[in-house]
Amino acid sequence: MRIDAEFIQSHNGKTLSDHRESFAYLSGKLDRKGVDVSGFIQKISKFQIAIPSWALGTGGTRFGRFPGGGEPRSLEEKVDDVGLLHALNRASGAISLHIPWDIPSDVDAIKAHAASHGLVFDAVNSNTFQDQPAQAHSYKFGSLCHTSHAVRQQAIDHNLEVIRHGEALGSKSLTVWLADGSSFPGQMNFRKALQRTLDSLKEIYAGMPEDWKLFVEYKPYEPYFYSTVIQDWGTSHLLASELGDRAFTLVDLGHHLPNTNIEQIVATLMMRGKLGGFHFNDSKFGDDDLTVGALKPYQLFLIFNELVEGMEDPRSTNPSPAWMIDASHNLKDPLEDLLQSVEAIQLAYAQALLIDRPRLEEARESNDPAKAQELLQDAHRTDVRPLIAEARLRAGAAIQPIEAFRALEVRKRLIEERGAKSISTGL
Ligand code: LRH
Ligand code: MN
């Protein structure tokens, strides 16, 4: 299924005058504040977010999964679904694959198919947290940290194979998340496990093409519940620093213990030039993988405050981070959930761009916390939705993506096309 420009144009027609009015009001206000509104909109349009291939179907938990039908049955259909999102918001221009869930059967065909939707392939993800049918050795007790050299070698070979798949697709980075850990005190020798993980990652790093990056994703717990080898940003940063200039830390927002100051972690990693990218989502308790901005939009804004400061600092050595979503949809339509997540990320970025940085720095240097908060919240309390909508309109996308998605009855048509019982690979 594809969404044609005519439909989007006619749908925009219904809300165009309202949009023009709210956009004119907001850009007038920003103009008077000296904000370069068109420069602003260009920055928003250029900000493309990668969609996870494993989150285009209904997610579940060990207690249950309630698929909504019309889920993609193949990599081609997954690309079609990301194409649908991109047609509606022109901000989802990349797809991040998970291997072996998404091994392309015909690389050239899938590249052409993605290109026909205006999509590229972002980071590829390896998977040594599940055993595949024909696998010689089990990852039950870990992969790159395993006590058995044969298991470690198997996991290293898998990562090198994932890099080969990514290379063929035009991807330029590998994300390694390891479930490796223990569930009982005494079960694991922490030092041996970390050293083996580092040595294994060194072989993977050496197998990467010169222009590739390696993202080391950390997580405090799950699936093991006493220790995780790469448990926090510090351990990931340690490994990335040991590995080399093309190894970075990946920040999954859900991979932090309650009340962790994630924006400070982001500032620190950017200062070190070691922030590789993000897995955006939101959570209340654990790695809940909920819609971005659904629970903690102010935290997301504070994270983008640090990102914009780092990205606009001419002395910064940090490369442009990879913007990716990592979510699981147990209740909402996966595509609507992803449209909401992309919007929330754009809103946080746009509000962070509005912060009056010179005056914020003045307030900080003069130890005026009230003034600093006033400046932050002035930006956060600015309704920038007309700016994001204008960026979409100028890019030929929908002023209101979710309304357009519903007006087109996309899910109903996907169920007609794919069936009510089609299940997508992934979590
Ligand atoms: C682990 C994780 C990782 C992925 C998986 C799908 O919790 O965040 O990024 O490989 O989810
Ligand atoms: Mn993740």
Task: Name which of 420, 394, 417, 405 is nearest 16 in CA terms.
Answer: 394
Mean pLDDT of the chain: 97
pLDDT tens for each residue of 342-352? 999 999 999 99
Between residues 297 and 62, which one has the greater pLDDT? 297
User: By the 8 A CB rule, do 156 and 128 touch?
Assistant: no
256 lines ligand 1 (CB under 6 A): no
pLDDT tens for each residue of 189-237? 999 999 999 999 999 999 999 999 999 999 999 999 999 999 999 999 9
Position 143 confidence tier, pLDDT thresholds 50, 70, 90? very high
Q: Which residues contact 425 (CB under 8 A, 6 or more apart)?
A: 54, 57, 101, 102
86 lines ligand 1 (CB under 6 A): no
Does the pLDDT at position 285 exceed 80?
Answer: yes
pLDDT tens for each residue of 228-253? 999 999 999 999 999 999 999 999 99
In whole angstroms, what separates CA 169 from the centre of its chain? 19
Does the pLDDT at position 423 exceed 90?
Answer: no
User: By the 8 A CB rule, do 261 and 226 touch?
Assistant: no
Does the pLDDT at position 427 exceed 90?
Answer: no
Atom 4 (ligand 1): residue with closest C-alpha?
A: 177
Distance 98 CA to ligand 2 centre (A): 11
427 lines ligand 1 (CB under 6 A): yes
Distance 175 CA to ligand 1 centre (A): 10
Task: Please choose from 98, 128, 173, 177 the residue to mutate so as to test ligand 1's pocket, defined by most ligand atoms within 8 A of CB.
Answer: 177
Which pLDDT does position 126 carry in this prediction? 98
Which pLDDT does position 322 carry in this prediction? 98
Nearest ligand to the CA of 177 is 1
Position 402 confidence tier, pLDDT thresholds 50, 70, 90? very high
Which pLDDT does position 1 carry in this prediction? 87
Q: pTM score, two decimals? A: 0.97
Residues found in the chain: 427
Residue 273 Rama label (left phi>0; alpha psi -120 to 50; beta): left
Does the pLDDT at position 139 exceed 80?
Answer: yes
Does the pLDDT at position 426 exceed 90?
Answer: no
Task: Please choose from 130, 287, 326 the residue to mutate so as to test ligand 1's pocket, defined by most ligand atoms within 8 A of CB.
Answer: 326
287 lines ligand 1 (CB under 6 A): yes
pLDDT tens for each residue of 343-389? 999 999 999 999 999 999 999 999 999 999 999 999 999 999 999 99
Q: Is 426 strand, coil or helix?
A: coil
Position 425 confidence tier, pLDDT thresholds 50, 70, 90? confident
Atom of ligand 1 nearest to the CA of 54: 6
Q: Map out the domains of the chain with their CATH numbers.
A: 19-418 (3.20.20.150)
**Half-sphere exposure in the Cβ direction for 320 (13 Å, CA):** 7
252 lines ligand 1 (CB under 6 A): yes
Atom 9 (ligand 1): residue with closest C-alpha?
A: 177
Which pLDDT does position 154 carry in this prediction? 98
Between residues 14 and 427, which one has the greater pLDDT? 14
